[in-house]
Structure 1
């Protein structure tokens, strides 16, 4: 799955001369927490809800409501945008796992999506990534999750998928990762049925160590 399949297209943006009041209003109206900042059509940063909150006067201020509103209206994005902010962007053709890795490495929650012409075409956030992985894993559908260990040997995956097929069942998805503690691969197998006793028994008969079985059923 690529970034272009999950990003928010045509994101709301602000300019350097946009006031803090205007930016705050945009966030509230569109229920968003970040705004790409443009300068002559180029993304030069991102302003978050946290940035706007920090720009607001303390609750202990003696200023009147009128004075507060006037102050925020006079304060521009260029006055509060982090001076040395490093803008991390991503291409719409990159895969979502690349976006997730970039966010994790740079400790950020959103990435402007820039096409080959340098144009801002979208915004992908941590929420978009979470939703994508939930869909990829198929956890919203009724299924049985079987966790078991697999030794590193040729043909293991073919044997497992063949075994499930022999039982007349469909695999929703599989996840395989190395477990350092066990020094073996751990496989998460999701099957699109709630009764998978025959598959579990077959796995055990073939020598696989089944660690856990979870039946997931969406509430009606």
Structure 2
């Protein structure tokens, strides 16, 4: 799964000389919270709704709406934008984009092509949607959680049990736990949970949770 397949493509952009009020209007009209700042075809900054809120008059101000708008019109994007831009390449994986956002505690990234042109924006919402889609959560899958030792052959055994029962695994995720254990989360269309649970237990594996999600 790549960033290019999950990002918002052809994003609205602004220049460093765009008045802040114009950018604010564009964000409100388009229902988005971030704008790449482009100059001479290259990414030079990133603007968020928090940047605009930081310089906007307080709701308690005595300024009229016209005066407040005039104040923002005097400011340029270059005055408030983030200049040290963190971006991601369109060929990067979703995992790479998620890790960048997690490490830098940011909610979105401009996406650039191999030549540095802005081609999209990817946000935390896009990451969440990808997670939901990959896990098939909206399709009403059964979820089995196994607690297993870290040893070779575990996934092979589990896949063999599903094959024996004539079932497909839609997704399988492993998560490291303390003391050398792993949780394995398996999702699929499982009409008889008791039957497959007994077969898994017979192989010596512990099922700690079952649920149907979606």
TM-score, normalised on structure 2? 0.95
In the other structure, the counterpart of 1:33 is 33
After superposing the two structures, state which structure 1 stretch, 193-202 or 8-17, moved more: 193-202
Per-residue CA deviations over 1:149-192 (Å, capped at 9, x if unaligned) read 12222222111101011111121110012111x52111001121
Answer yes or no: is the 8 Å Cα contact 1:146–1:214 preserved in 2: yes
Per-residue CA deviations over 1:78-122 (Å, capped at 9, x if unaligned) read 22224xx42111111110000000011111111111111111111
Equivalent-residue separation in structure 2 for 1:20 and 1:192 (angstroms): 52
Equivalent-residue separation in structure 1 for 2:6 and 2:73 (angstroms): 34
Among residues 182, 185, 189, which one is paired with 1:185 in the alignment?
Answer: 182
What SS does structure 1 have at the residue aligned with 2:137? Answer: coil
Matches within 5 A, 1:100-115: 100-115=98-113
Equivalent-residue separation in structure 2 for 1:179 and 1:128 (angstroms): 27
In the other structure, the counterpart of 1:138 is 136
Answer yes or no: is the 8 Å Cα contact 2:150–2:180 preserved in 1: no
> Gaps (5+ residues) in structure 2?
none
Cα RMSD after superposing both structures: 1.4
In the other structure, the counterpart of 2:79 is 79
Equivalent-residue separation in structure 2 for 1:67 and 1:142 (angstroms): 53
What SS does structure 2 have at the residue aligned with 1:50? Answer: helix
In the other structure, the counterpart of 1:155 is 153
How many correspondences in the alignment?
A: 214
**How much has 1:10 moved relative to structure 2?**
0.7
Per-residue CA deviations over 1:50-89 (Å, capped at 9, x if unaligned) read 111111112332322222222122221122224xx42111
In the other structure, the counterpart of 1:170 is 168
Higher helix share: 2
**How much has 1:209 moved relative to structure 2?**
1.0
Answer yes or no: is the 8 Å Cα contact 1:2–1:94 preserved in 2: yes
What SS does structure 1 have at the residue aligned with 2:139? Answer: coil
